[in-house]
Chains A and B, each alone.
Chain A
Amino acid sequence: MNERIIEKLRGQFPSSLEGTNEFRGDLTLQIKRDDIVRVCEFLKADAELAFDMVIDLCGVDMYRPEGRYEVIYNLYSLKNKKYLRLKVLVDEDNAVIDSVTGVWAGANWHERETYDMFGLKFAGHPDLRRMYMPEEYEYHPLRKDFPTMGIPDSIPLPRR
């Protein structure tokens, strides 16, 4: 099945697939940032693959100069009972990626959480607010340069 997915994607988007990796049976495909929505639309619409659910979507801060952030899409196909992971590298100075809420409505809150935790902007998201932290909060806690103990006085306490 894994070979079939790679083969189909290679045929459809020869330039979008930047790399593949298989570890413990999990297939990870690295996709070019600008093509993510087109690839997702194809994966969902294709009758054979039919990745109709987005199970999870999250960010990873790799803390490196090139492609600092990774956005991970964990897709699931009800038909094939199969997981697929997509990975997109996003640079620090242009931390914007197209939203896939148009493909799967369920990506909405996951993208909000990723924006909240990493500060990645999702272009075309209908309601890009913070998920957990207060709206005025200026930091993004899951970035590697944010200390685990927090930053003192960064959240105003309630008035007495």
Chain B
Amino acid sequence: MAIRTLEEPKKSQILTALEDQDTTVTIDDSLENEMVLNMGPQHPATHGVLRLLVRLNGEIVMACVPELGYLHRGYEKIAEGSTYHEFIPHTDRLDYLSPISNNVGYVLAVEKLLGMEVPARAQYIRVLCCEMSRIASHLVAVGSMGMDVGALTVLLWTFREREKILDIYDVLCGARFTTSYTRIGGLQQDWTAQCTAMLTRFLDEFKEDLGEVEKLLSHNRIFVDRCENVGYISRENAIAMGMTGPILRASGVARDLRQDNPYLVYPELDFNVITLTEGDALARFYLRIAEMKESAKLLRQALQKLPQGPVNANEARRVLPRKERVYTKMEELIQDFMIVNMGVDPPVGEIYQGIESSKGELGFYIVSDGTGHPWRMKIRAPSMVNLSAIPIMCKGAMISDIVAIIGSIDPVMGEADK
């Protein structure tokens, strides 16, 4: 028995259909004129496998219960059984819309645990990667939010732009999605002149192309009416619920880890933290557009300041040697064997490192027992925490607003379900 009500009223067909072994919903009172609607996990507007149980009175949402876990792969358990290097490819699969920034966030956490400093060039390249993935992720967010409320053209245009960034990833590390680009103490490959050329061309075209998107949506009466005052969350609620990223900043809190708790070389770069006070879906849309422009600004600065030098730290016991040297030199072969089989040698301790990823604060909490495997690794996924505010945002909304709200939260279930 899955759905229980206190008075056990006659069950309507919809309630019976919801009663399967995967559903557990407790309804405290009789439904009277209301009904319970199941949305997802296979629903095009839920951006993956999010499942919502919505309690409706007519078209008005009385309550909304999110159900997670349809993409739970147990990454935290996998991490306990793999070395620090082995886990890097798994981080691609967390927030699969901005894989490189997950790679960066993870290795920053491990490097903090190891007490390591990476060369300046590697740090600049990591900033480039993070900002590229922020633009790519926000493009998907803006496009799919437009699509959810009926503006299909925008999705095609933003995906066209995102494709150019994925092409840069391809040249940079040989993969478009599953990048696994960073290494502990450095990077897999150096940034090349071809990447610079591609990125410069992208940035030259980007302003105009983003302008086209803005022209289509920003003053579009239908779009604005669909999103304005929808999914409102107040400043106090956003803080209490632990929101981060665009949702928090759209509610009027200027929290950006790039400025507040800086990492990499962000203090050397000049950018603004965008804040809006409306706290609705439309504000989140405007905020993402504005953040993309700031990221483009950051990319230009980072390209300009990109220093020469090595991309890997000079610590043979912890940094994987280059493959061509592994195959020809004895010392490097031994180092490679030891790092791959035994792992790096962290001290005993626990650290937390968060970065400002495109969805919010992506954090890794690592407990080390001094061996090559983490004893415990907790992934603080921004999508999961941001989704926990859906019941607040959806309450009192129309059923058609739910898709706009999910689109404005921009959850990635790979990250929310871990």
Q: Would you call A53 and B21 a contact (CB within 8 A)? A: no
Number of A residues near B (Cβ < 8 Å) is 39
Residues in B neighbouring A54, C-beta threshold 8 A: 242
Q: Which of B233-277 contact A (CB under 8 A)?
A: 237, 239-244, 253, 255, 260-261
Measured CA separation A37–B370 after assembly (Å) = 32
Measured CA separation A110–B376 after assembly (Å) = 16
B309 in the interface (beta carbon within 8 A): no
Measured CA separation A110–B243 after assembly (Å) = 13
CB of B56 to closest CB in A, whole Å: 20
Residues in A neighbouring B376, C-beta threshold 8 A: 60-61, 142
- Interface 1/0s, chain A 117-160, versus B by CB < 8 A? 10000000000011111111000011000101000000010000
Instruction: Tell whether A105 pairs with B241 under 8 Å between CB atoms, given A56-B365, A83-B261, A134-B22.
Output: yes
Measured CA separation A61–B80 after assembly (Å) = 11
Instruction: Tell whether A26 pairs with B253 under 8 Å between CB atoms, given A52-B239, A54-B242, A109-B388.
Output: no
Q: Would you call B365 and A72 a contact (CB within 8 A)? A: yes
A4 in the interface (beta carbon within 8 A): no
Residues in A neighbouring B77, C-beta threshold 8 A: 141-142, 146, 148
Chain B residue at minimal CB-CB distance from A135: B24
Instruction: Tell whether A23 pairs with B350 under 8 Å between CB atoms, given A56-B363, A131-B68.
Output: yes
Chain A residue at minimal CB-CB distance from B65: A127
- Interface 1/0s, chain A 40-68, versus B by CB < 8 A? 00000000000011111010110000000
CB of A107 to closest CB in B, whole Å: 8
- Interface 1/0s, chain B 109-131, versus A by CB < 8 A? 00011010000000000000000
B21 CB contact (under 8 Å) in A26, A136, A146: A136
Residues in A neighbouring B237, C-beta threshold 8 A: 105
Residues in B neighbouring A24, C-beta threshold 8 A: 112-113, 115, 349, 351
B69 in the interface (beta carbon within 8 A): yes
Chain B residue at minimal CB-CB distance from A117: B76
Q: Would you call B352 and A85 a contact (CB within 8 A)? A: yes
A56 CB contact (under 8 Å) in B113, B260, B378: B378
Q: Which of B68-123 contact A (CB under 8 A)?
A: 68-69, 72, 74, 76-78, 80-81, 112-113, 115
Chain B residue at minimal CB-CB distance from A52: B239
Residues in B neighbouring A110, C-beta threshold 8 A: 385
A108 in the interface (beta carbon within 8 A): yes
Residues in B neighbouring A109, C-beta threshold 8 A: 384-385, 388
Main secondary structure of the interface of B (DSSP, over half): mixed
Q: Which of B322-354 contact A (CB under 8 A)?
A: 349-352, 354
A99 in the interface (beta carbon within 8 A): no
B367 in the interface (beta carbon within 8 A): yes
B401 in the interface (beta carbon within 8 A): no
Residues in B neighbouring A23, C-beta threshold 8 A: 349-351
Q: Which of B19-52 contact A (CB under 8 A)?
A: 21-22, 24
CB of A152 to closest CB in B, whole Å: 15
B415 in the interface (beta carbon within 8 A): no
Chain B residue at minimal CB-CB distance from A58: B378
Q: Which of B383-411 contact A (CB under 8 A)?
A: 384-385, 388
Q: Would you call B388 and A78 a contact (CB within 8 A)? A: no
Measured CA separation A130–B67 after assembly (Å) = 10
Q: Would you call B240 and A78 a contact (CB within 8 A)? A: no
Q: Would you call A55 and B363 a contact (CB within 8 A)? A: yes
Chain B residue at minimal CB-CB distance from A103: B240
B260 CB contact (under 8 Å) in A52, A74, A81, A136: A81
Q: Would you call A132 and B352 a contact (CB within 8 A)? A: no
Residues in A neighbouring B363, C-beta threshold 8 A: 55-56, 74
Residues in A neighbouring B69, C-beta threshold 8 A: 130-134
B361 in the interface (beta carbon within 8 A): yes
- Interface 1/0s, chain A 6-36, versus B by CB < 8 A? 0000000000000000011010100000000
Residues in A neighbouring B375, C-beta threshold 8 A: 60
Q: Would you call A132 and B350 a contact (CB within 8 A)? A: no
Residues in B neighbouring A104, C-beta threshold 8 A: 240, 242
22 contacts between A and B (CB under 8 A): A23-B350, A23-B351, A24-B349, A26-B351, A55-B363, A55-B380, A56-B352, A78-B239, A78-B255, A83-B352, A85-B350, A104-B240, A104-B242, A106-B240, A107-B242, A110-B385, A133-B69, A135-B24, A141-B77, A146-B77, A148-B74, A156-B21
* 5 closest residue pairs by CB, A with B: A106-B242, A132-B69, A132-B72, A23-B349, A58-B378
- Which residues of B approach A to under 8 Å, CB–CB? 21-22, 24, 68-69, 72, 74, 76-78, 80-81, 112-113, 115, 237, 239-244, 253, 255, 260-261, 349-352, 354, 361, 363, 365, 367, 375-376, 378, 380, 384-385, 388, 417-418
Known A-B contacts: A105-B241, A106-B241. Give 7 more (CB < 8 A): A23-B350, A26-B351, A74-B380, A78-B255, A108-B388, A142-B77, A146-B77
